Copies of this chain bind each other. A is one copy, B any other.
Amino acid sequence: MIKQTFLNLPEDKREKILSAARNELTRVPFYDARIATIVREAGIPRGSFYQYFDSLNDVFVAVLRDIEKKKLKNFVQFLTESQGDLFEAAIKMFDSEFDYLTNNKPGHLIQNIFNIAKIDGGPSIGPNNPGFEEVFALIKTESLNLKGHNDLFSLLMLFFFTIGENIRLSILNEHSKHDAQRCFLTQINFVKYGAKKK
């Protein structure tokens, strides 16, 4: 559990701890991460760590939440830019996510982040995140084949799966961005126009 004490911390100290944890996740695969490394870099005593978190995993969850907040913000922007067109926004999102996860941060961070997301919660961005209603409201539904509110929910989930898993696999298998993008676009088109012949 992430303890209240951590949330009460002054912004800069909290940021220093998150940053050290992010570096640790970049340095080694998840299961080789050490509390010792984080507290050393953050310059806090070991005891303090346990004042803020129950376990190593919790600090990583904190890192994840931090990243996801930024992602959600991006998606809202893309949705606005494309006047509520979900397909267009998803394509922009794929592009931005891919770049963020490949260029911005080398090392093990990418796999680890997906990994923590699997333990901790929903897809990188998804209906469970706070602030999701905002996204919901931005989507133009007139040209979509929806039977109810739940259908939009399911459709969104499908997009988020697809973005996340395509990126994850492409990085894992060392495919080029171009290949990953083509695969993703094909899938988006199936969802848009249907895979079954008329």
Encoded as 1 (CB less than 8 Å from any B CB) or 0, chain A from 133 to 159 comes to 000000000111110001101110110
Q: Are B30 and A119 in contact (CB under 8 A)?
A: yes
Which of A29, A87, A183 is packed against the most chain B CB atoms within 10 Å? A183
Q: A23 on the interface (CB 8 Å rule)?
A: no
For A114, the chain B residues whose CB sits under 8 A away are 118
Tier of interface size on chain A:
35 or more
The reply to whether B196 and A165 form a contact with Cβ atoms under 8 Å apart is no
Please encode chain A, from 175 to 198, with 1 for each CB lying within 8 Å of some chain B CB and 0 for all others.
000000011001100111111110
Q: Are B119 and A173 in contact (CB under 8 A)?
A: no
Question: Quick one: CB contact mask for A58-98 with B, threshold 8 Å, 1 for yes?
Answer: 00000000000000000000000000000100000000000
Q: Which residues of B contact A48 (CB under 8 A)?
A: none
CB nearest to A86 among chain B residues: B195
Q: Given the complex, which residues of B lie within 8 Å of A31, measured CB to CB? A: 30-31, 55-57
Binds B, one of A1-9, A14-22, A39-47, A121-129: A121-129
A115: B residues at CB distance < 8 A:
115, 118-119
A142-B197, A158-B162, A194-B194 are known contacts; what are 20 more A-B pairs with Cβ within 8 Å? A29-B57, A30-B31, A114-B118, A115-B115, A115-B118, A122-B173, A123-B169, A145-B193, A145-B195, A145-B197, A154-B183, A154-B187, A154-B190, A155-B187, A157-B166, A161-B165, A191-B191, A191-B195, A193-B194, A193-B196
Residues of A within 8 A of B (CB): 29-31, 55-57, 87, 111, 114-115, 118-119, 121-123, 126, 128, 142-146, 150-151, 153-155, 157-158, 161-162, 165-166, 168-169, 172-173, 182-183, 186-187, 190-197
